[in-house]
């Protein structure tokens, strides 16, 4: 049996395409959110915002974007950024490799492209941290190149508009979505069209309970006509979730606390945390004491449980139990530990802390 032709499956006559384009763009002009990266056509803020928006909601990104642009207002300044300053600006936004890749790419642009962002899609895709979606979004918004930016929001809108059943991450639906979006994309003004499509997905064509009454495409939408909008797009298989039980210690000594820098190629590398680990044994407190002794050569006595921090990193659901601790005499000849520092609580803001460490600092501040 021959494969279904993706273009044929979603074909629309030109007059219909023009109606959809005009309707969406008129809606966008009236309803787009005022966002700081939309105030300029400069490629640098557009690039930074697109990287921050990967896996992250617009409302979360706004304050980080403003802080980042104040700290590194130009590509050259980003290329020169110190790791700790860079991570401090990103702390709490997650997926920290995005920040490292931004700086890596900025260095490549300064070194090999005279500080200019390339206009060629192929060259853009060679830069660290830029995949097909981000590359298309940057080039269409900054340079009006007719490239479709197919993110999760856009997939949802198109799957519903054309009523495409099946897993959108796989053939043939994946090809149909790309063909559907590409034929709708105008030859000029593709950046506005891409942003309008994303905005529609983010604010109207919501994953649950889409607001079809407010949608400029409601009279064209095949899913709405059939009443199946709530179950499209179909969900692919999600990666298994790993439950992680961890314990950490807030070790106080003469009013200061011990924090350490995550080293090597560990997740959250170079971020700062309170010392601790993941444990499989049921007795967390006992495991933590032994761990601190073997790893940091610190003999501690655990006291009260300070707090329990629950959070998620990629597909790991973490429950971190935090204990107050004191050093047990006799104290070692030196309290200096490689990669760790004794700090006053008031100094915590100077370090790029992990999300868990920030929550612990909040708990300590509230004490």
| Contacting positions for ligand SF4 (CB under 6 A) | 157, 160-161, 204-205, 210, 212, 215, 217-218, 221, 223-224, 229
DSSP reduced 3-state for 95: coil
Query: For helices 14-31 and 173-184, what crossing angle results, to 10°?
Result: 80
| CA 120 to each of CA 7, 40, 111, 143, 150: distance values in angstroms, whole numbers, following the listed order | 25, 21, 17, 10, 18
How many C-beta atoms surround the C-beta of residue 21 within 10 A? 16
Which CB atom, from 185 or from 215, has the smaller least distance to ligand SF4? Answer: 215
Q: What is the DSSP letter of 347?
A: G
Give the separation between CA 273 and CA 100, rounded to whole angstroms: 19
Q: Tally Cβ neighbours within 10 Å of residue 136.
A: 25
**Residues whose CB is less than 8 angstroms from the CB of residue 362 and which lie 6 or more positions away in sequence, other chains included:** none
Among residues 50, 199, 273, 324, which one is catalytic?
50
- In this complex, which beta carbon is closest to ligand SF4, that of residue 46 or of residue 205? 205
| Nearest distance, CB of residue 181 and ligand SF4, angstroms | 13
| Minimum distance of ligand SF4 from residue 40's CB (angstroms) | 30
Measured CA to CA, the distance from residue 173 to residue 4 in angstroms comes to 10
Task: Identify which of residues 137 and 157 has a Cβ nearer to ligand SF4 in the complex.
Answer: 157
Q: How far is the CB of 163 from ligand SF4 (least distance, A)?
A: 9
Which residue, 23 or 186, is less far from ligand SF4 as judged by CB?
23
- Give residues with Cβ within 8 angstroms of 247, minimum separation 6: 276, 277, 279, 284, 285, 287, 288, 320, 321, 322, 323
Smallest Cα–Cα separation from 318: which of 267, 266, 249, 243? 243
Decide whether 196 or 289 has the Cβ nearer to ligand SF4. Answer: 196
Active site annotation includes 50: yes
The Cα 340–Cα 322 span in angstroms is 18
Q: Considering the complex, what minimum distance in angstroms separates the CB of residue 30 from ligand SF4?
A: 16
Least distance from C-beta 182 to ligand SF4, angstroms?
A: 18
Nearer to ligand SF4, 161 or 178 (CB): 161
Nearest to 79 by CA among 41, 47, 54, 37: 47
Closest approach, Cβ 115 to ligand SF4, in A, equals: 41
Give the residue numbers annotated as catalytic, written as ranges: 50
């Amino acid at each position: 049996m021959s494969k279904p032709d993706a273009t044929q499956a979603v074909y629309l006559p030109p007059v219909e395409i023009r109606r959809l384009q005009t309707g969406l763009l008129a809606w966008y002009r009236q309803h787009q959110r005022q966002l700081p990266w939309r105030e300029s056509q400069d490629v640098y803020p557009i690039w930074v915002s697109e990287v921050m928006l990967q896996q992250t909601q617009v409302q979360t990104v706004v304050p980080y974007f403003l802080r980042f642009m104040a700290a590194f207002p130009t590509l050259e300044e980003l290329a020169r950024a110190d790791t700790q300053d860079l991570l401090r600006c990103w702390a709490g936004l997650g997926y920290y490799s995005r920040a490292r890749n931004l700086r890596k790419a900025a260095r490549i642009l300064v070194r090999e492209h005279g500080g200019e962002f390339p206009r060629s899609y192929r060259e853009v895709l060679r830069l660290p941290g830029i995949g097909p979606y981000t590359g298309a979004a940057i080039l269409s918004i900054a340079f009006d190149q007719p490239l479709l930016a197919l993110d999760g929001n856009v997939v949802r809108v198109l799957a519903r508009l054309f009523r495409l059943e099946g897993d959108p991450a796989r053939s043939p639906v994946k090809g149909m979505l790309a063909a559907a979006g590409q034929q709708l994309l105008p030859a000029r003004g593709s950046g506005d069209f891409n942003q309008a499509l994303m905005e529609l997905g983010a604010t109207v064509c919501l994953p649950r309970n889409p607001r079809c009454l407010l949608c400029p495409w409601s009279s064209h939408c095949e899913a709405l006509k059939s009443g199946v909008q709530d179950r499209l797009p179909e969900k692919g298989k999600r990666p298994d979730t790993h439950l992680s039980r961890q314990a950490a210690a807030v070790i106080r000594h003469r009013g200061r606390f011990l924090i350490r820098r995550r080293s090597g190629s560990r997740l959250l590398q170079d971020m700062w945390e309170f010392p601790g680990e993941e444990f499989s044994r049921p007795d967390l407190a006992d495991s933590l004491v032994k761990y601190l002794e073997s790893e940091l050569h610190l003999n501690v006595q655990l006291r009260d449980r300070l707090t329990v921090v629950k959070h998620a990193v990629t597909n790991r659901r973490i429950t971190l139990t935090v204990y107050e601790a004191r050093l047990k005499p006799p104290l070692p000849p030196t309290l200096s530990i490689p990669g760790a520092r004794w700090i006053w609580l008031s100094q915590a803001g100077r370090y790029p802390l992990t999300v868990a460490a920030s929550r612990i600092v909040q708990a300590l501040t509230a004490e």
